[in-house]
Structures are given as structure tokens and as C-alpha cells.
């Protein structure tokens, strides 16, 4: 039964932001407008401004919504499991909200800064200098956000399988004859059962964490 004005839940800031996130997830951030959001909520466009000041305020709220889905370090964990868990959850969340990949770093919000503060605190508590903590956070975030962007750009299915497009490329025999290394990777790796591009993330984050640990040990000896 369709909801009437009497049965529709009241609009709140939280509900407006959640609806905006859902619209951006479905159709992309470029398609989101205040008018479209108001229509989704069943209210007049001007009524929306009782809950969000303007489009910038709405976007900030959406970024904070995304941050709220990423567990924040508590300070009780050791640094490596905390950073690995944060990287993995960030990649997962950005995979659900692909529009946020380009926005999460460019919008300074209270929730975002609080999250970063907790990350820095976890590293400092582990004995990192402030400069090494900055290096580590920058490296981890660059890799995680970059990997999420690459995943979003690749023609994969929901399981991260790129075999369909790989098979199309491999079928171009004349081209593959000129690209033997690419052809070998396709046949010996990508087209093998169980391969998913997303599994590459674990290898990369492990290499990065190993490097950060070596830098931490070197710093502690000096």
C-alpha cells in the first residue's frame, strides 16, 4: 500500500542524508540534486532546507555518513591490526559508495577529522614519531583509496571477476602475439578458477605494512 502524507515517516536530517546516499549509490553523485532528493523524501524542495543548509552541507553529511560505516580505531588494538582492519573496511565501504572515493579526502568534516585523529593516536601510542605517523597514514590511505578507485573502474562483476573482458582480449590472437607477457598473465593467472582482482588488495596492504614496520623499527633504534 503506498504511503500517504499521513503515514510517511517525518523527514529528519539523518533521513535526508541517508536518502541522498542511496540516490548517489544508485545513480552517481552527479545526478543528485536538492529537488530530486526532496521528491524522494516526498516534500517540497524548500522544505529540505529546514534539515540541510545547502548542497555543501548535504555533501558534508553524506561524507560523514560514509565515515560512520568505517570502524574507528579504539586505541586498544596494536597498530598493525588496527591499520589493516581500517584499510580493509575502508575499501569495502568505498566499494559500496563509489561516488565517495573522490570526495572523502576533499571535504573536511568533524567526523572525518575525528576518525583521522584516532588513527594518528593509534600510531603515536605504538611509538611512531609524528612524521612517521604522517608517512604511514598517507601511504595507507593513498593505496586504499587508489585501489578502490581502480576496482570501481575495472569491468568486473560483483565478485571482482574480470574474466569476461579478459577472454575478449585474449581472443584477439594477432594482438596477443605481439603482447606475450600480457597473454601469459591472462592465461596463467586471470583466467584461472578462483582469481579475483580484489584479492590483490591483501598482497599490497601486506607489503605496505611490512615496510612501515621496518621504518618503525629503524626509527626506534635511532
Same domain, 81 and 32: no
| Calpha distance 212→80 (Å, rounded) | 9
| Calpha distance 111→180 (Å, rounded) | 49
Same domain, 42 and 81: no
Are 190 and 166 in contact, with CB atoms under 8 Å apart? Answer: yes
**Count: domains in the chain:** 2
| Packing angle of the helix pair 110-125, 130-153 (nearest 10 deg) | 130
For residue 188, tell me if it sits in a domain. no
Does residue 68 sit in helix, strand or coil? Answer: helix
Confidence (pLDDT) at 1: 40
Same domain, 144 and 212: yes
Same domain, 140 and 215: yes
Confidence (pLDDT) at 156: 64
Does residue 69 sit in helix, strand or coil? Answer: coil
Same domain, 213 and 129: yes
DSSP state of 188: I
Q: Which residue has the cell 573502474?
A: 153
Instruction: Report the CATH number that the domain containing residue 31 is assigned in CATH.
Output: 1.10.10.60
Instruction: Report the CATH number that the domain containing residue 215 is assigned in CATH.
Output: 1.10.357.10
What is the number of other CB atoms lying within 10 angstroms of the CB of residue 2? 5
**Domain ranges, residue 155:** 75-161+196-221
> With b meaning 16 or more CB within 10 Å and e meaning fewer, what string describes 9-20?
eebeeeebbebb
For residue 58, tell me if it sits in a domain. no
Q: Which residue has the cell 573536511?
A: 108
What is the rounded radius of gyration, in angstroms, for the C-alpha atoms of the chain?
22
Q: What is the pLDDT along the chain (222 residues), one digit of tens a residue?
A: 445 555 678 899 999 999 999 999 999 999 999 999 999 999 998 999 999 999 999 999 999 999 999 999 887 789 999 999 999 999 999 999 999 998 998 898 999 999 999 999 999 999 999 999 999 999 999 999 999 999 888 866 665 667 776 777 778 888 878 888 988 888 888 888 888 888 899 999 999 999 999 999 999 887
Same domain, 144 and 214: yes
Same domain, 82 and 42: no
Are 196 and 160 in contact, with CB atoms under 8 Å apart? Answer: yes
C-alpha grid cell, residue 93: 565501504
For residue 100, tell me if it sits in a domain. yes
Are 161 and 198 in contact, with CB atoms under 8 Å apart? Answer: no
Confidence (pLDDT) at 183: 86
Residue 176 exposed, middle or buried by CB count within 10 Å (0-12, 13-18, 19+): middle
Amino acid at each position: 500500500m503506498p504511503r500517504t502524507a499521513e503515514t510517511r515517516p517525518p523527514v529528519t536530517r539523518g533521513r535526508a542524508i541517508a536518502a541522498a546516499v542511496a540516490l548517489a549509490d544508485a545513480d552517481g553523485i552527479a545526478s543528485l540534486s536538492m529537488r530530486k532528493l526532496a521528491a524522494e523524501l516526498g516534500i517540497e524542495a524548500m522544505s529540505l532546507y529546514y534539515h540541510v543548509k545547502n548542497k555543501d552541507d548535504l555533501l558534508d553529511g553524506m561524507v560523514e555518513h560514509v565515515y560512520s560505516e568505517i570502524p574507528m580505531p579504539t586505541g586498544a588494538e596494536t597498530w598493525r591490526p588496527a591499520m589493516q582492519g581500517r584499510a580493509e573496511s575502508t575499501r569495502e565501504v568505498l566499494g559500496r559508495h563509489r561516488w565517495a572515493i573522490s570526495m572523502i579526502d576533499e571535504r573536511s568534516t568533524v567526523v572525518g577529522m575525528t576518525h583521522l585523529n584516532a588513527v594518528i593516536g593509534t600510531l603515536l601510542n605504538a611509538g611512531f614519531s609524528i612524521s612517521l605517523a604522517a608517512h604511514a597514514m598517507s601511504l595507507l590511505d593513498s593505496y586504499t583509496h587508489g585501489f578502490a578507485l581502480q576496482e570501481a573502474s575495472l569491468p568486473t562483476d560483483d565478485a571482482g571477476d574480470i574474466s569476461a573482458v579478459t577472454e575478449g582480449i585474449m581472443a584477439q590472437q594477432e594482438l596477443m602475439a605481439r603482447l606475450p607477457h600480457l597473454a601469459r598473465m591472462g592465461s596463467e593467472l586471470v583466467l584461472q578458477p578462483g582469481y579475483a582482482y580484489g584479492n590483490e588488495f591483501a598482497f599490497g596492504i601486506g607489503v605496505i605494512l611490512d615496510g612501515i614496520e621496518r621504518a618503525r623499527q629503524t626509527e626506534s633504534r635511532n
